Structure 1
Amino acid sequence: MSFILNIETATKNCSVSIAKNGETIFCKEIAEEGYSHAEKLHVFIEEVIAESGITVQDLGAIAVSQGPGSYTGLRIGVSAAKGLCFALNIPLIAVDTLQTLASKANVSDGKIIPMLDARRMEVYSEIFNADLEVERGIQAEIITEDSFAAYTEKLYFVGDCAEKCKQVLTKENFVFLEEIKYPSAREMSKISFDKYQKSDTVDVAYFEPYYLKDFMMTQPSKKQ
């Protein structure tokens, strides 16, 4: 019997779940414009553990969303996960954020393309087949009317980019599943358990989130 705590903070959705043998038994999450991860994450962790009727000593591993995504959100999630792993002396599992997002699409044909907003017309994207096998790895790309034009089968787009991208990606085989906006720790459960069974873990001391792009801090303009 394996209990895994899953932490997803790569987007505006602050999400935590407890899974038993790959099945989510309790999930707590909230998506807010103001990124309340710092205030909510540890509260959610305590709540999902208590609601699941276990203690932290029952955890076999911690799984965390590795990115790409929000720099601040990823740092908060990874820091919390590392702290728990160090304290409990249990392994850390890194989960592809876009794979988690793609897992929310229940389709039987075509390709699934999870996309997360990277500002302006740029997105973080990956391509999966209907069996959630990777067809093309993660990229940061600028979306144009020619994006994904080489694909003739149905393409199912998920993520928080629908509003800006559907104005450009207008081909008949393009389908936007607009109800699927953010990745959730609920869908991390199966992925993290599969990795746990294969001992596919990362070094707690040296693991860093997959930001994909360098963090850019803007400087306030100086008044003349």
Structure 2
Amino acid sequence: MRHRKSTPAVMELSIDTASDLASVALSGKGRLIHDIVWRSQRNHTVEVLAAIEKLLSRGGVDKRELMAVFVSLGPGMYTGLRVGVSIAQGLARGLQVPTIGVGRLELDAYPHRHFDGPVVAVHRAGRGELAWASYRDRPWRELSPPRLASPDEFRGAVPDGSLVVGEIDERLLTLLESRSMTVRGPAAEGRARSLAELGFARWQAGETAEPALLRPVYLRPPAIGPPQQPGN
């Protein structure tokens, strides 16, 4: 007789679609069991649902065994965030389980939490601007909330001795090289791993939200709107 692999009694699903590097993770009490990371082709609905099915199959888990759903709230790609949050909302409502949202910049910073100083997460936000926020450990906390800035404004705002992580292009790297700070590129393993750990900690702290109240974080209005009427 084939026996099913033992899995934790408490399991959670994490979903991150904030950027082209999308990921989903299955965890038990915040500890990673399996994850799937891929470069999105911008067909998020099909990709995410297929990845979740593959993830649960790999773990030998029925979705009805999930006890919570964690989701990245952004900032990031408008369509990707909307799809990821909508899927998380639908699963949480259908399964009647808690949902927890965590910001994308915090998820980028969290793997570097043991750095002895501020951890500044940054990514390109279009229109020549950067989205950034800063964090620090012991205890883990937000120092500066997510905001937009030009590369020059960002350079002037980041304190010396910081660790800058995320999507660092050549121009930004050149700007930062003259400052006393450490620069690292994005983590290759995807954000769902950090989401599993942070989401579980916040679930245990009672920081849950009704699925309908989850909202993606957009630092500017999306460049998508209803078609204008002739003459407007």
Report the TM-score range of the alignment, normalised by the length of the smaller protein.
Answer: 0.7 to 0.9
Q: Is the 8 A contact 2:167 2:186 kept in 1?
A: no
TM-score, length of structure 1 as denominator length: 0.88
Structure 1 CA distance for aligned equivalents of residues 210 and 196 of structure 2? 20
Select the residue among 92, 98, 113 that pairs with 1:91. Answer: 98
For residues 147 and 208 of structure 1, do their structure 2 counterparts lie closer, same or farther at Cα, with a shift above 3 Å needed?
same
Residue 18 (structure 2) aligned to one of 7, 10, 26: 10
Question: Residue 194 of structure 2 aligns with which residue?
Answer: 187
Aligned to 2:29: 21
User: Is structure 2 residue 57 aligned with structure 1 residue 47?
Assistant: no
Q: Which runs of 5+ in 2 are unaligned?
A: 1-8, 228-232
Question: How big is each residue's C-alpha offset from its partner over 1:128-151, in whole Å with a ceiling of 9 and x where there is no partner?
Answer: 124442111111111207724562
- Post-superposition shift, 1:107? 4.0
Contact kept? 2:108, 2:186, Cα under 8 Å: no
What SS does the corresponding residue of 1:213 show, helix, strand or coil? coil
When the two chains are superposed, the root-mean-square deviation of aligned CA atoms in Å is 2.2
TM-score by length of 2: 0.85
Look up the match of 2:3.
none
Amino acid in the other structure paired with 1:204: P
Larger deviation, residues 64-73 vs 163-172: 163-172
Give the distance between the partners of 2:33 and 2:191, measured in 1 at CA.
14
Once the 2 structures are TM-superposed, how far is the Cα of residue 28 of structure 1 from its aligned partner? 0.4
Of the candidates 36, 39, 42, which is equivalent to residue 31 of structure 1? 39
Matched, 1:65 2:109: no
The ranges of structure 1 where at least 4 consecutive aligned residues each deviate by more than 3 angstroms after the TM superposition are 161-164
SS of structure 2 residue aligned to 1:205: helix
Residues 146 and 201 from structure 1, CA distance in 2 versus in 1: closer, same or farther, beyond 3 angstroms?
A: closer
Q: 1:35 to 1:7 in 2, by over 3 A?
A: same
Secondary structure of 1:35's match? coil
Query: 119, 128, 132: which one pairs with 1:125?
Result: 132
Identity of aligned residues (%): 26
Give structure 1 stretches of 5+ with no counterpart. 220-224
